[in-house]
């Protein structure tokens, strides 16, 4: 199944290290990020889950829940979490979905047969409060994720969901954003009272409106 931006994130029930969940109910009214990882007790995955736990305050600040899935069973996850806590000097504070029958992995298209017929790639699904997929990032098993970029994308998605703006190349929080071309010139002052500058008719900047 090939999921695209704007699709409703498939709902499912699953066993996790935090108990049984119904995915959409678990998300609630906030944002969520669903990560897949190739397998338990693997080095790159261990560093990623450790980093995720260390960034709990950053995800909380953004009203975002995080959850991981792999095709290992619950007993494997529980043993691996102990390794993560010990080697990464943290405490895993989010659910890890047990998916030995690959139900969730297949539902979200996390297994790419030309890479591996059994192990998921490193998928990232950003899911909004409306349960729709807002962005995806996919990495091969050999490449660890960049969490600065994951947080940057999340900041951009949350900003642009509230204001008629886009974030330009290499944008970071605090930098100017681009006014949507749907906003007429005469309507800019009332929509963006912090001011704006015009480069050309379709490229108009304004200070980030939510800070």
Catalytically active residues, by annotation = 45
Q: Tell me which residue of 11, 7, 31, 32 sits closest to 22, measured CA to CA.
A: 11
CB 16 within 8 A of CB 67: yes
**R_g of the chain, CA atoms, integer Å:** 19
Q: How many residues does the chain have?
A: 211
**With the CA atoms of 120, 67, 32 and 207 taken in that order, what torsion angle do they form, in degrees rounded to the nearest 10?**
-90
Q: Where are the alpha helices (DSSP H) in 17-146?
A: 23-27, 43-54, 56-61, 74-88, 103-107
């Amino acid at each position: 199944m090939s999921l695209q931006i704007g699709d409703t994130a498939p709902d499912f029930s699953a066993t996790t290290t935090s108990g049984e969940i119904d995915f959409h109910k678990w998300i609630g009214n906030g944002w969520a990020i669903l990560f897949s990882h190739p397998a338990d007790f693997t080095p790159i995955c261990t560093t990623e889950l450790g980093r995720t736990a260390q960034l709990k305050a950053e995800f909380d600040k953004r009203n975002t829940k995080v959850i991981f899935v792999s095709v290992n069973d619950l007993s494997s996850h529980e043993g691996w979490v102990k390794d993560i806590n010990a080697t990464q000097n943290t405490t895993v504070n989010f659910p890890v979905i047990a998916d030995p029958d690959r139900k969730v992995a297949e539902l979200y298209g996390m297994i790419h047969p030309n890479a591996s017929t059994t192990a998921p790639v490193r998928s990232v699904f950003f899911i909004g409060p409306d349960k729709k997929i807002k962005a995806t990032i996919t990495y091969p098993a050999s490449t660890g994720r960049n969490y600065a970029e994951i947080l940057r994308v999340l900041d951009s998605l949350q900003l642009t969901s509230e204001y008629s703006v886009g974030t330009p190349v290499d944008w970071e929080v605090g930098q100017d954003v681009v006014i949507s071309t749907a906003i007429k010139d005469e309507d800019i002052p009332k929509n963006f009272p912090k001011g704006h500058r015009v480069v050309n008719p379709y490229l108009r900047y304004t200070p980030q409106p939510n800070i």
